[in-house]
């Protein structure tokens, strides 16, 4: 993605928001778009009005860039994201994140909906992602890009611990204060758009995955390349039971992710309050 397109998009955003400078980015996945409604003094820009932005076409994803204050911290939120299964390239899907970085964020909080593979998980559970498996193989990091990070020096980009250890601990501590314990898990990302067969859920369990979904990994890789701190949550919307005949559907996924918001929305607000 060319630096000039990022600059162009940021100019439009700056004009619409009188040069607002966010500190934290939020990428809100299936059903969590409501967090964006809690942003105060919000300036909402539909993706279609920002040059270079991909528009999400999935039910449950609104498609707005929202800038304002959450827990008194200046934030920018993606209310809905573009998925690779909609046909977007990883570099296009991560373009809004690059713009968030150019606007000045130093951390990003990402959320998604996933299928639970770990049998200890239940539908509606919020899990902290502490590692991932890239089954998409489309990182969004383009080695030919001259604008950023190690890739500009012709070096392979290393991502050992993509999720910030300090933010993981902070989230766990604040969840306990809220009265629940957060499990950690490894998230495996597929290209989708289909949910898995029972044989695939079984295979992913053997590979070490606790959850499976269709997003997040391209954004987390790009965020690491940009030097951003990353915290990521997954809402388990259905638990795979490979040995039982059952079918996952999108309505069920949306329903459970809405229910999990009652824990996750205040948790993210409490985490942000620590940023002040």
Helix (H, G, I), strand (E, B) or coil at 107: strand
User: CA-CA distance, 132 to 166, in Å (whole number)?
Assistant: 18
Taking CB under 6 A as the binding criterion, the range among 78-86, 110-118, 202-210, 222-230 that sits at the site for ligand HPA is: 110-118
Nearer to ligand HPA, 109 or 260 (CB): 260
Nearer to ligand HPA, 31 or 52 (CB): 31
User: CA-CA distance, 78 to 92, in Å (whole number)?
Assistant: 14
User: CA-CA distance, 237 to 88, in Å (whole number)?
Assistant: 24
Q: Is the omega angle on the peptide bond into residue 193 within 30 degrees of 0, that is, cis?
A: yes
User: CA-CA distance, 63 to 81, in Å (whole number)?
Assistant: 7
Taking CB under 6 A as the binding criterion, the range among 9-17, 55-63, 70-78, 210-218 that sits at the site for ligand HPA is: 210-218
Work out whether 214 is an interface residue with ligand HPA (CB under 6 A): yes
- Smallest gap from residue 200 Cβ to ligand HPA (A): 9
Q: Which of 31, 60, 115, 140 binds ligand HPA (CB under 6 A)?
A: 115
The single-letter DSSP state of residue 123 is T
Query: Is-contact 6 50, C-beta < 8 A?
Result: no
At residue 231, φ and ψ (nearest 5 deg) are: -130, 135
Work out whether 195 is an interface residue with ligand HPA (CB under 6 A): yes
Taking CB under 6 A as the binding criterion, the range among 10-18, 70-78, 108-116, 123-131 that sits at the site for ligand HPA is: 108-116
- Smallest gap from residue 122 Cβ to ligand HPA (A): 13
- Smallest gap from residue 91 Cβ to ligand HPA (A): 22
Catalytic residues: 30, 61, 83, 85-86, 113, 214-215, 238, 250
């Amino acid at each position: 993605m060319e630096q000039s397109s990022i600059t162009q998009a940021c100019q439009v955003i700056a004009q619409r928001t009188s040069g607002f400078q966010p500190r934290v980015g939020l990428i809100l996945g299936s059903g969590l778009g409501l967090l964006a409604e809690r942003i105060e003094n919000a300036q909402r820009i539909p993706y279609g009005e920002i040059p270079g932005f991909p528009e999400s076409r999935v039910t449950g994803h609104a498609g707005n860039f929202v800038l304002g204050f959450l827990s008194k911290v200046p934030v920018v939120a993606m209310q809905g994201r573009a998925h690779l299964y909609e046909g977007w390239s990883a570099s296009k899907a991560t373009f809004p994140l690059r713009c968030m970085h150019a606007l000045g964020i130093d951390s990003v909080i990402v959320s998604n909906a996933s299928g639970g593979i770990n049998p200890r998980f239940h539908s509606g559970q919020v899990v902290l992602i502490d590692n991932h498996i890239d089954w998409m193989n489309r990182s969004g990091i383009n080695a030919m890009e001259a604008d950023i990070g190690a890739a500009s020096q012709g070096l392979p980009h290393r991502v050992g611990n993509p999720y910030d250890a300090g933010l993981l601990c902070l989230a766990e501590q604040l969840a306990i204060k809220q009265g629940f314990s957060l499990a950690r898990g490894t998230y495996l990302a597929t290209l989708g758009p289909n949910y898995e067969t029972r044989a695939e859920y079984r295979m992913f369990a053997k590979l070490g995955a606790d959850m499976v979904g269709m997003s997040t990994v391209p954004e987390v890789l790009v965020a690491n390349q940009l030097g951003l701190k990353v915290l990521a949550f997954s809402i388990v919307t259905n638990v795979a039971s490979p040995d039982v005949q059952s079918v996952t559907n999108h309505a069920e996924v949306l329903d459970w992710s809405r229910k999990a918001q009652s824990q996750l929305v205040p948790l993210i607000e409490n985490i942000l309050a620590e940023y002040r």
